[in-house]
Amino acid sequence: MPAALLLAPLLFTSCVLMPSNTHWDQRRSLARYDSLGIDAPVTLPELKNRTDKGFSAADYLTLHSGLIVSGKYIDDDFKAKLATSREAQEGVLELGFSVPIAKGGSGFGSCAPVTGDGYFLTAAHVLAHKDSYVLYATSNQRRTYIDYAPIRVVYRNDAADFAIVKADIATPRYLRFRSEALEPADTLFAGGWMHERAGGEFIQYLPVENVPPGHFQKVVTSLPMIKGDSGSPLIDQRGRLCGVLSTMRLGVVVKMKPKSTAVRMETSEVERIIRRDRSR
């Protein structure tokens, strides 16, 4: 843990637990990658606005992701618990919330903030309901807390399983895009707001079926996923965005390791769509 963090304990909590039958490759990836820090600066008011590096992948992703919750999961009990977490004691970063993800069903996932004014990337299949909200760990001058707002779909491509959404909240910590291509065995992280984050390596790029060539790529990794990871940002060790998680292929025999696939849209096209939406 960086020395500066000793002055402001970080507590990230949710009701999501690692399933007991988690594939052994996932457990191994957690053991291997949890010790690696992210070489990207983070500024928090709880750190007296000092810029610090070396956050764990789990903490970095919590601070640079959104959680999408929708449909039947939005109720008065949910909002009451979330409101309580927004009154965290000053000087201590407490992101406590309760989302009934463990009950199964659709209507939840993660998303990647890509601007300071509330634009996020996610997987299209996460948007299973019209009344969707995004949760985001934002900060003001004194503290960090969970903010939330309804989302509006700006762009959606179901064939590519990719979407851009907008929420009326400030998103001061957002992800920059990686410009250079990934190389085999590059270290990658993902996981959004889930309790357990996994790490893995880049395997290959593949085309996305049933979409015109040029705008999309599949990013195949050895990173295992758990339920709720869909839409999570896939980042490199410098914290740069490489895509959003879409699907997982489970091994059907012992020697076949699970793989996950992220979807990447060309940065220029993402920026064009956002500029067009802002101008409306």
Q: Is the pLDDT of residue 50 over 50?
A: yes
In a domain, 162, yes or no: no
Q: How confident is the model at residue 28 (pLDDT cuts 50, 70, 90)?
A: low
- Both 80 and 196 in one domain: the answer is no
Q: What is the span of the domain harbouring residue 200?
A: 187-276
CATH number for the domain that contains residue 219: 2.40.10.10
Residue in 101, 94, 99 with CA at minimum distance from that of residue 146: 94
- Both 142 and 233 in one domain: the answer is no
Q: Averaged over 87-97, what is the pLDDT?
A: 47
Cα–Cα dist 93/84, whole Å: 13
- Both 138 and 41 in one domain: the answer is yes
In a domain, 164, yes or no: no
- Both 66 and 145 in one domain: the answer is yes
- Both 95 and 141 in one domain: the answer is yes
Q: How close are the terminal C-alpha atoms of the chain, in Å?
A: 45
Domain count within the chain? 2
pLDDT at 140: 80
- Both 53 and 139 in one domain: the answer is yes
- Both 207 and 133 in one domain: the answer is no
Q: How confident is the model at residue 102 (pLDDT cuts 50, 70, 90)?
A: very low
In a domain, 116, yes or no: no
Does residue 26 contact residue 258 with C-beta atoms inside 8 Å?
yes
**pLDDT digit string (tens) for 262-276?**
999 999 999 999 999
In a domain, 137, yes or no: yes
In a domain, 45, yes or no: yes
- Both 23 and 102 in one domain: the answer is yes
98 Cβ contact partners less than 8 Å away, ≥ 6 residues apart: 14, 15, 78, 81
In a domain, 15, yes or no: yes
C-alpha distances in Å from residue 199, one per residue of 7, 35, 87, 220, 280: 28, 10, 32, 13, 39
**pLDDT digit string (tens) for 234-254?**
999 899 999 999 876 544 444
- Both 91 and 213 in one domain: the answer is no
In a domain, 242, yes or no: yes
In a domain, 69, yes or no: yes
Choose between 35 and 266: higher pLDDT.
266
- Both 105 and 205 in one domain: the answer is no
Q: Is the pLDDT of residue 115 over 90?
A: yes
- Both 143 and 232 in one domain: the answer is no
Name, of 78-82, 209-213, 269-273, the range with top average pLDDT: 269-273
- Both 135 and 230 in one domain: the answer is no
Q: Averaged over 121-139, what is the pLDDT?
A: 88
